[in-house]
Structure 1
């Protein structure tokens, strides 16, 4: 059995209310309901975060449609999409994303009709910190010595810390996160759902940017980030244990730092912001290239009176 994941302090009732209720996307949840330091509350059903939508089931079609989502942002790399499959968004055509992998612009495809959903492929990945590739390599070679050399003795966690720092230091990554924020702030744009594979790292940093920009306190930002361990804990345990029973790994616990949210990862990203800019406001402007218009739009779309 695997270790128990780190638990946030959120009450079970609030956690259940935040869930989008999608059986094929267990980490799909609403950012609505969080309170800012000045007492305003994020609207529900406007900014949604999720793990991959490639596992949506037939039973998910009706609850997904009820969300009224207008834009879906897929932050996965081309390799991830090829391996796991495209998003199963009802009524949306499958796009060829091979041309967008290194493009400066996202690839967008829209369902027909005025109320159709638009899917944006906006891959965020780093060759030096590609967790998907590291996982694939670890499982492809069943040699426990090589797996230990790749992931053991804190190396997996170091890889994750490096990834979160890269979210902040890499200009292409910053621009792609900024693109999601612009979409959330655009008039008549929400509801917007953004996701990656696990809904943990790229999605987690995007959510942290949204909540911080709106004035949600840092403790709540971390609490939202760590909810992944609650939402996905049972699935992670099943997957990791299966690696052992299928003979893929002698010590599948080596993978846990890749599969779990850890406060140290998010702390690394915020530390990089503080190291490179005087504060979050300067990072918003010179790091993300966003202005007061985007911030005003984000507040208008996401915050209640």
Structure 2
């Protein structure tokens, strides 16, 4: 596997800065606006937003978030992740209500009072066979370097990630959850929509890749958007990995890097699974995701500006 560097070109840093939502507590929160499709149209800014978890928003983030005018927040985290990290901190939604929804085992929604209030949707995407968080917990709970190496070393952590991305495509419930986000973005009263998981990398990255591909953004740009996570999250990843070493939790904390970084091979594995199972993206859209032409038409209407704008 090719290791993706954390360092980025000046152009990538500039691109990320332009897309950043400026939330101190959600460093990977960014706008998908500005990408150009094959027919020359451009994604509008402020309508499709991707992010890491909103549970760490600080007080100064709240007015910035409110100014985004988000109508729908989609939380793709598993129940365990929500219990461990806490519910999203969404201005206008009572924490108690959010907690009740997040602790449900079904996809549920909670809305703020009033016709213009924000709605939170909990759509957990959880793979028992590829649970990164269980693997991480197991690795840290047992400080035995040999066991950590056996769990994560010699490419096993990366293979776990590749398996997860394939599962995004092969699992029927996962496909249904991703399709739900796309339908929400296509609904007349949908955008602005912000979708997120914990790091804004894997489930969020695949959702964004589906959206951009469906709209006709070229594949290299889809990969570039996916890999921007490595730029935005570099400092956090470095801090976490260093802390695991200094706290004595791991003899070789670099074993965790394949879990924490976006890697081109991961996204390529998902697209390869689409081809294997359905032949091409159009067939996957129709038969894999169960989405009709009307959803694509809604996405184009809601998210795309005219050519050159």
The TM-score bracket by the shorter chain reads: over 0.9
1:57 maps to: 58
Task: For residue 144 of structure 1, report the CA deviation from its aligned partner.
Answer: 1.1
1:189 maps to: 190
Query: Contact 2:102 / 2:122 at 8 angstroms: preserved in 1?
Result: no
Give, in whole Å, the separation in 1 of the partners of 2:165 and 2:9: 20
Give, in whole Å, the separation in 2 of the partners of 1:7 and 1:158: 25
Instruction: Report the CA distance shift for 1:187/1:43 in structure 2 as closer, same or farther (over 3 A).
Output: same
Give, in whole Å, the separation in 2 of the partners of 1:289 and 1:6: 39
2:295 maps to: 294
Q: How many residue pairs were aligned?
A: 300
Secondary structure at 2:50 match in 1? strand
Secondary structure at 1:96 match in 2? helix
Give, in whole Å, the separation in 1 of the partners of 2:190 and 2:149: 46
Question: Which range moved further: 219-228 or 130-139?
Answer: 130-139
Give, in whole Å, the separation in 1 of the partners of 2:99 and 2:216: 36
1:227 maps to: 228
Task: For residue 183 of structure 1, report the CA deviation from its aligned partner.
Answer: 0.3
2:81 maps to: 80
Secondary structure at 1:266 match in 2? helix
Task: For residue 13 of structure 1, report the CA deviation from its aligned partner.
Answer: 2.5
Task: For residue 7 of structure 1, report the CA deviation from its aligned partner.
Answer: 3.8
2:123 maps to: 122
2:29 maps to: 28
**What stretches of structure 1 move > 6 A for 4+ residues in a row?**
none
Instruction: Report the CA distance shift for 1:157/1:180 in structure 2 as closer, same or farther (over 3 A).
Output: same
Superposed CA RMSD in Å reads 1.4
Residues 228-283 of structure 1 show CA distances to partners (whole Å, capped at 9, x for unaligned) of: 00000011000110001111111100000000000000000000000011210000
5+ residue gaps, structure 2, are none
Question: Which range moved further: 199-208 or 144-153?
Answer: 144-153
Query: Contact 2:24 / 2:61 at 8 angstroms: preserved in 1?
Result: yes
Residues 184-203 of structure 1 show CA distances to partners (whole Å, capped at 9, x for unaligned) of: 00002100000000000000
2:166 maps to: 165
Give, in whole Å, the separation in 1 of the partners of 2:201 and 2:219: 17
Give, in whole Å, the separation in 2 of the partners of 1:30 and 1:37: 19
Give, in whole Å, the separation in 1 of the partners of 2:184 and 2:28: 21
Query: Contact 1:9 / 1:223 at 8 angstroms: preserved in 2?
Result: no
2:151 maps to: 150
Question: Which range moved further: 11-20 or 209-218?
Answer: 11-20
Query: Which of 70, 95, 99 lines up with 2:99 in the alignment?
Result: 95
Secondary structure at 2:73 match in 1? strand
Secondary structure at 1:64 match in 2? helix
Task: For residue 205 of structure 1, report the CA deviation from its aligned partner.
Answer: 0.1
Residues 113-156 of structure 1 show CA distances to partners (whole Å, capped at 9, x for unaligned) of: 22211000000011000111111111111111111111001000
Residues 49-70 of structure 1 show CA distances to partners (whole Å, capped at 9, x for unaligned) of: 0000010000101110110000
Secondary structure at 2:109 match in 1? strand
Query: Contact 1:73 / 1:119 at 8 angstroms: preserved in 2?
Result: yes
1:66 maps to: 67
Question: Which range moved further: 120-129 or 86-95?
Answer: 86-95
1:42 maps to: 43
Question: Which range moved further: 112-121 or 216-225?
Answer: 112-121
Secondary structure at 2:121 match in 1? strand
Give, in whole Å, the separation in 1 of the partners of 2:92 and 2:253: 38
Give, in whole Å, the separation in 2 of the partners of 1:159 and 1:31: 28
Give, in whole Å, the separation in 1 of the partners of 2:279 and 2:244: 45
- The alignment's TM-score, normalised by the length of structure 1, stands at 0.96
Query: Contact 2:214 / 2:296 at 8 angstroms: preserved in 1?
Result: yes
Alignment pair present for 1:14 and 2:6: no
Task: For residue 47 of structure 1, report the CA deviation from its aligned partner.
Answer: 0.2
- The alignment's TM-score, normalised by the length of structure 2, stands at 0.94
